Chain A
């Protein structure tokens, strides 16, 4: 690891709220998108003629289409409840990383152009004109927000800075100021089908290689089928699961669970990405386009269930938005949604999280584990922000907190939670979510991980924890890269299904006759 060009925060054992240091992170800016990237997903090049009016018109458009934005622009009273809640503020001390100040970047322009007080008494209410400088400020600080929604839990009016950040990014995109990392990935998702730009044949190769690896390691022919028509389940997972470490260990875990349960399943080369970066830039159209690939793949393959792999924002989009965007879900009465509902099995939630799937099987006693195989690990669990605050698992409120922990406890003996104010809906973002998982933002990512690292360090010290279990591809990439800055080894990071993969007992090959019969009768 090259020496960082910034000071890595020291771990103190406490999550301290820093004193305000103006401009402390003003220099942190991610690379902007090129014209080619922008045009590829329907945005103009930088600052087209009349950009000011375009931006204001876009803001007006968003205000009329999103009640969240309209109410949030008006309702804030500057009480300060959110000021110490953002991990980026805690890590950088830059006051513009306080949620209220981040919102204020937009609110000041909203006031100037859309309110009586701001039109006639701008300085009184802090209203400001939209200038190029303002746009640059927006670009810096709307790309220093991971849209984790922690502030929204604590706001007395439920103001969700993620909604404001998304609107800010949408307005920026409308005047051609986009972020390279996110917008390039959205383009790849549309064009090739996944964020990594991994084409179908390469994917097939990768999966074949994994099957061989599993066979070598266990002696069991666990399959990772691709584009298998008529399979019961289609698994949609973040493309990082196909070859990034430690992500791939979880993919092996899912495959073993499907194998042990004897349920036919398939991956899809068309829907080879669960992630949907359209969410990050607040673009309904791009988000819907991404989600449509999954609907189309489900219709093509004729699957009855859709299961989503370990990915935080993907699960938010899947759980909270798929039904709206594409009709993957229940209760739709329009022809569009009905078409899919006729195919999907109503006995199961659509979509279903891989943790819900595995947990159900554990409850039914269909999976066997040797927990001692995980005895070399002492585990803690990091709640991913989008799962914790933007979605749910199972029918019970809070199921997204219970289920992953219950899975871990079913497959391992040593589990400890981190301190209460950093888990469940109070969880801190890993520091790399929301389109910030790019090397040009490394300083921000390291600093933003500070509160999580404090809490992690405490359980490492007190409970000898050596494994940080995750259910998000971004969390996995972010922590692998960032925890070495805090003196931990990157092998401490892994997925929940990686733990499942370690402990699960698969039937020996000679006992698989029954299974192959079952497969034949299904085919």
Chain B
């Protein structure tokens, strides 16, 4: 077994662990932190099913962003939509036999890489061209865009320019999943691609990529507007109340 194979196997095990554990901890924090007051933003649904619908529209259509700014929506939607297709396409390297729907999206998934990079390019351009966005951009904002674009370009390179030994790559990944290490081809473009993907997984739980789980916990979007009909009270507020009552009874 080559050093390279062991190195990358280790990298992916570590990245996966950090990604899963880090994200779980963050999600646990979000879930456990109480939302003491009802703060849904208009237009707020009055029922739970309405909230599910609203959240679905936010996640699937980026509804609020569409209302806000058509340029950001366009680039953002292009990027996220393409990323979804590309990710789904990559499932073919994790499954044997490949599921039929994944087979079906294969051609779209291949070209979606271009759309993804284009969307990212548009978002990045805004960080230079729009003075307001330039003002708020931090180095990490630029670096995350660079990282994603580099992942996209290295992937596109292997798809359309210099093919890598994809059969061996798939064997490596399938092996990883059952802890049976298979040799990884020493193709530099592939190694760059894999390293950057691992890096993305590692920074996910400690960066603004937390917007992905965050939106589901956003009280302005996930609360029902029913404050007059149902009493909403957090554990710490209830304790405040019972403490006060005990005091006044004493």
Contacts and interface: CB of A to CB of B under 8 A. Distances in A.
A315 B240 CA distance: 24
Contact of B133 (A63, A80, A154, A398): A80
B211 A157 contact: yes
A350 to B, nearest CB: 7
B231 A332 contact: yes
Given A158-B215, A323-B232, A66 B138 contact: no
Interface string A320-361: 110110010111111011000000000001110000000000
Contacts of B136: 78, 80, 83, 95, 98, 100-101, 104
A397 B237 contact: no
A78 B245 CA distance: 45
Contacts of B38: 320-321, 324
Contacts of B67: 153-154
B43 A398 contact: yes
B131 A66 contact: no
Contacts of B245: 336
A153 B64 contact: yes
A388 B231 CA distance: 22
B41 interface: yes
Contact of B210 (A74, A159, A285): A74
Interface in A385-420: 388-390, 392, 395, 397-398, 400
- Among B30, B39, B65, the most chain A Cβ lie within 10 Å of the Cβ of B39
Given A80-B126, A156-B215, A159-B218, A324 B232 contact: yes
A80 B132 contact: yes
A206 interface: no
A112 interface: no
Contacts of B29: 70
Contacts of A327: 231
Question: Is chain B's binding surface mostly helix, strand, loop or mixed?
Answer: helix
B208 A74 contact: yes
Contact of A157 (B39, B43, B218): B218
B65 A98 contact: no
B46 A350 contact: no
A332 B241 CA distance: 13
B135 A67 contact: no
Interface residues of B, number: 67
B185 interface: no
B65 A156 contact: yes
A286 B199 CA distance: 46
A331 B237 contact: no
B7 interface: no
A160 interface: yes
Nearest to A123: B139
B218 A75 contact: yes
A80 B141 CA distance: 12
Contacts of B225: 392, 397
Nearest to B62: A156
B76 interface: yes
B84 interface: no
Contacts of A78: 133, 136-138, 141, 208
Contact of A158 (B33, B45, B218): B218
Contact of B43 (A63, A329, A397): A397
B41 A158 contact: yes
Interface residues of A, number: 78
Given A324-B232, A332-B231, A158 B221 contact: yes
B42 interface: yes
A79 interface: yes
Given A68-B35, A160-B41, A392-B44, A20 B208 contact: no
B83 to A, nearest CB: 14
A346 to B, nearest CB: 10
A395 B225 CA distance: 10
Given A152-B41, A156-B58, A159-B218, A333 B206 contact: no
Contacts of A400: 42
Contacts of B46: 395, 397
A160 B220 contact: yes
A49 B65 CA distance: 44
Interface in B85-143: 123, 126, 130-133, 135-141, 143
Contacts of A158: 41, 58, 64, 215, 218-221
A290 B21 CA distance: 43
A136 interface: no
B65 A66 contact: no
A334 B238 contact: yes
A452 interface: no
B244 to A, nearest CB: 9
B37 A321 contact: yes
Contacts of A63: 33
Contacts of B230: 323, 330-331
A319 interface: yes
A114 to B, nearest CB: 11
Contact of A20 (B36, B43, B132): B132
Interface of A: 17, 19-20, 22, 63-68, 70-72, 74-85, 95, 98, 100-101, 104, 115-117, 123-126, 149, 152-160, 163, 284-285, 288, 319-321, 323-324, 327, 329-334, 336-337, 349-351, 388-390, 392, 395, 397-398, 400, 424-425
Interface of B: 26, 29-30, 33-39, 41-46, 58, 62, 64-65, 67-69, 72, 76, 123, 126, 130-133, 135-141, 143, 203, 206-208, 210-211, 214-215, 217-221, 225, 227-234, 236-238, 240-241, 245
8 contacts: A66-B36, A70-B30, A80-B132, A80-B136, A82-B68, A83-B132, A95-B136, A425-B43
Given A75-B208, A324-B37, A390-B39, 18 more contacts: A19-B131, A20-B132, A65-B33, A65-B234, A68-B219, A77-B211, A81-B65, A83-B133, A125-B138, A153-B41, A284-B37, A284-B240, A288-B240, A323-B230, A334-B231, A337-B231, A397-B45, A398-B42
- Which 5 A-B pairs rank lowest in CB-CB distance, beginning with the nearest? A75-B214, A332-B231, A154-B68, A158-B220, A126-B138
